[in-house]
Amino acid sequence: MLKGWLKWKSKLKRYPVIPGTVVGIFIFLALFGELLAPHPPNEMSLTKKFIPPVWQGGGSIAYPLGTDMLGRDMLSRIMAGARISFFVAILSILLGGLVGTGLGIISGYYGGTWDVLLMRTADATLAFPIILLAMLLAIVLGPSLQNVVVSLGLVLWARYARIIRGEVLSVKERDFVALARVAGSSNVRIMFRHIFPNIRSTLLVLLTLQVGWVIIVEASLSFLGAGIPGPQPVWGSMISKGREYITTAWWIPFFPGLAVALVCLCFNMLGDWLREVLDPKLRQVGGGG
């Protein structure tokens, strides 16, 4: 027990402080950013358009990151946009994760025809371009939050199913699963009472790593006009509309783009750290070093 605690303590000492802080700030802004924003995100004032950031000539402390082409405060819009990105990521991951994890466990546990059918479906899903799928939905149903979530969920389930299936194939061959069968446990009980707890660490890492991917894809869809429509402050739309002013008002597309890149990078770094901490094989390698 002491040896295990020392290994965990060693991993915690290498906790990625900066990525963890950025992720914490992002979640905080997603929950309270719109309430704490210095200005209403959609408040327009054409007399205040194109105000540069505070450190640039002509800037104002009232608008630290400047204003856009309609005089809206960039800082307030970025803070409000965090909520949309966060909830799109959470809803998409819940939808895709629940479906994919359940199907992955069933596929890996039963094998046979079920396994072949589900995995071929997953392969076909992964081969379909997410951007094209979302654009088709936007054309048929119109761009909306619901369509973005459904589009991302339709692709995410296959990612989860693939990885979870591989974990289940390994876990179901262990002795405690055989003992559960001998004891008369049902297949459902074995899958969710004995197998699922042994794949939770993999699932947690996968959830963390997928947040950054979802945020990037959502921003890309909004950039192309197939995502969440205005006037909601969406990071992708802010980048798309601001690119026309990149030479005269660089801050309009720059700060939303920086927010997307920074949040996604930090979620990926946090996911890599979690994988190292939770993966027993990596812990053994780390302990041996």
pLDDT tens sequence across 200-253: 888 888 888 888 888 888 888 888 877 787 778 889 888 988 888 888 899 999
pLDDT at 285 over 70: no
Task: Find the mean pLDDT for residues 170-182.
Answer: 81
Identify which has the larger pLDDT, 80 or 275.
80
Question: What residue segments make up the domains of the chain, in order of their start?
Answer: 85-288
- Please give the pLDDT value at position 284: 41
pLDDT tens, residue by residue, 52-76: 999 988 888 999 999 999 999 999 9
- Please give the pLDDT value at position 258: 93
The Cα-based distances of 23 to 16, 26, 273 in angstroms read: 11, 5, 13
Task: Find the mean pLDDT for residues 139-146.
Answer: 77
- Please give the pLDDT value at position 67: 92
Measured CA to CA, the distance from residue 7 to residue 279 in angstroms comes to 12
pLDDT at 159 over 70: yes
Average pLDDT, the chain: 83
Task: Find the mean pLDDT for residues 65-91.
Answer: 91
Kindly report the pTM of this predicted structure.
0.82
Q: What class does CATH assign to 85-288?
A: mainly alpha
Tokens linked to 171 = 């876990």
pLDDT at 7 over 80: no
Look at residues 236, 249, 217, 274 and name the one whose alpha carbon lies nearest to residue 96: 217
The Cα-based distances of 53 to 72, 75, 252 in angstroms read: 13, 10, 10
pLDDT tens, residue by residue, 30-51: 999 888 888 998 888 888 889 9
- Please give the pLDDT value at position 108: 87
Q: Percentage of the chain surpassing pLDDT 70?
A: 92
Measured CA to CA, the distance from residue 182 to residue 194 in angstroms comes to 13
Identify which has the larger pLDDT, 125 or 263.
263
**With bands split at pLDDT 50, 70 and 90, how would you rate the model's confidence at 10?**
low
